Amino acid sequence: MSTTLNNRRVPRLLFAAVSCFASLAALVAADETAIDSPTMQRVFDEVKTPFKYGIVLRGSASEKIDCPNVFRRDGRWFMVFIAFDGRGYETRLATSDDLRHWRALGTILPRAGTGWDAEQAAAGLALIDPRWDGTWELQPHAGRYWLSYLGGAKTGYETPPLSIGLASTTDPIAVRAWERLPANPVLGPGDADARPFERDTLFKSHIFRDPAQTLGAPFVMFYNARAPKDSERIGIALSHDLKTWRRHGAAHVLENERPPGYKRGVISGDPQIVRLGDLWVMFYFGAFWKPGAFDTFAVSRDLVHWTRWTGPDLIAPSEPWDREYAHKPWLVRHEGVVYHFYCAVGAEGRVIALATSRDLRRARTAAP
């Protein structure tokens, strides 16, 4: 009897020891990939934009505009943004000489009218120089400039299912329709390799070139997605040619948990990735895991393991024109000033606003 019990106990003890060792190894690995608090604070101090400049772009009275993406070309600044007219999204272009005063130019990605993206075409920039101290210029691939976009066949506000497509042009500042990739969509919720977190809708994507091929490919896409009636989380896909994509990893790489008892999903969305020294910084917006919608960030050394900032938001509702939501970030650093463009929702409808690291409103008021 005693021998039998001892023989049974040995495998159990061995299993317990192995499990304990595996848990310890996981904790050590997590600790090694985590970004320490002083580094997180240093990043916050570099990118924070406490001064709200105000609204910089509006749509018509019947439109909601959203998702600013800013780049530089021929000494001028340009903004790709999206507009919702009650039926669906389309993508437009605006321009500025100083990053503060903007003028809309026209549509560059209209709704297709037929097919998988008949009613939705909401694009963002691909292959912008990702360096925090870089040029903010678009980088061509195969002699063309690229957008990735959210597309869908149904009318309404982000009516699922939504997938991701690509479009390109030879001139990114010309006001004409970009050419859709014939193989679109490149990623969709119904794909055989779609992961559990993305089987309802794919939302905003951001593609950049990684010369070091940290994850084994030169083109990296971050995007937020949702399972049916669930939260939005951020995952990764990779490509060697910008046209064919494979998902990276078995799950998402960033999420925020819903509060206890909260029935709706929460959002971690609209990632923008920049390279700050030896760090990768992801700007993204959060919603509903605490009140409202706001912009924040996370930091990584390897693009897979991300440490979320838990300090003050980069942007949060505070003014009549962003009292409901202050979200969907795009940050640019130019001549020592950080410009934080975002979607503001409040007394002026859904518009594009700007916050900065230096008080430019005061400088404008003080000018002779």
Q: Where are the domains of the chain?
A: 1-33, 34-366
**Dihedrals phi, psi of 136, to nearest 5 degrees:** 65, 25
pLDDT, one tens digit per residue, over 195-233 is: 999 999 999 999 999 999 999 999 999 999 999 999 999
| pTM for the predicted model, two decimal places | 0.91
pLDDT at 337: 98
pLDDT at 28: 45
Of residues 58 and 31, which shows the higher confidence score?
58
pLDDT confidence tier of residue 122, bands split at 50, 70 and 90: very high
Burial of 15 (0-12, 13-18, 19+ CB in 10 A): exposed
Answer yes or no: is pLDDT of 23 > 70.
no
pLDDT, one tens digit per residue, over 34-52 is: 999 999 999 999 999 999 9
pLDDT, one tens digit per residue, over 238-267 is: 999 999 999 999 999 999 999 998 989 999
CA separation for the pair 327, 218 (Å, rounded): 29
Which residues contact residue 25 at a Cβ distance below 8 angstroms, ignoring those fewer than 6 apart?
none
pLDDT at 31: 62
pLDDT at 366: 44
CA 111, 116, 120, 122 dihedral sign is negative
Cβ(123)–Cβ(80) below 8 Å? yes
Torsion of CA 214, 217, 221, 226, to 10 degrees: -90
What is the average per-residue pLDDT within 162-167?
98
pLDDT at 8: 44
pLDDT, one tens digit per residue, over 63-98 is: 999 999 999 999 999 999 999 999 999 999 999 999
Cβ(242)–Cβ(262) below 8 Å? no
DSSP per residue, 111-157 = --SSSTTSSEEEEEEESB--BTTS--BBPPBTTBEEEEEEEESS-SS
pLDDT confidence tier of residue 363, bands split at 50, 70 and 90: low
What are the beta bridge partners of residue 164? Answer: 150, 187
Answer yes or no: is pLDDT of 289 > 80.
yes
Cβ(319)–Cβ(12) below 8 Å? no
Cβ(329)–Cβ(355) below 8 Å? no
Answer yes or no: is pLDDT of 273 > 80.
yes
| CATH superfamily of the domain spanning 34-366 | Glycosyl hydrolase domain; family 43 (2.115.10.20)
What is the average per-residue pLDDT within 329-350?
98
Quick one: which of 191, 204, 112 has its CA closest to 158? 204
CA separation for the pair 355, 327 (Å, rounded): 11
Q: Which residue reads 């023989």 in tokens?
A: 7
CA 88, distance to chain mean position in Å, is 20
- What is the gyration radius of the CA atoms in the chain, in angstroms? 22
**CA distance to 69, 109, 145, 262, per residue, from 117 (Å):** 21, 11, 20, 33
What 3-state DSSP class applies to 96?
A: strand
Give the mean pLDDT of the chain: 92
Helices H, strands E: what count in the chain?
3, 20
CA separation for the pair 70, 93 (Å, rounded): 10
DSSP per residue, 34-75 = SPPHHHHHHHHHHH---EEEEEEE---TT-EEEEEEEEEETT
What's the per-residue H, E or C state across 252-314? CCECCCCCCCCCCCCEEEEEEEEEECCEEEEEEEEECCCCCEEEEEEEECCCCCCEECCCCCC
CA 102, 138, 244, 199 dihedral sign is negative
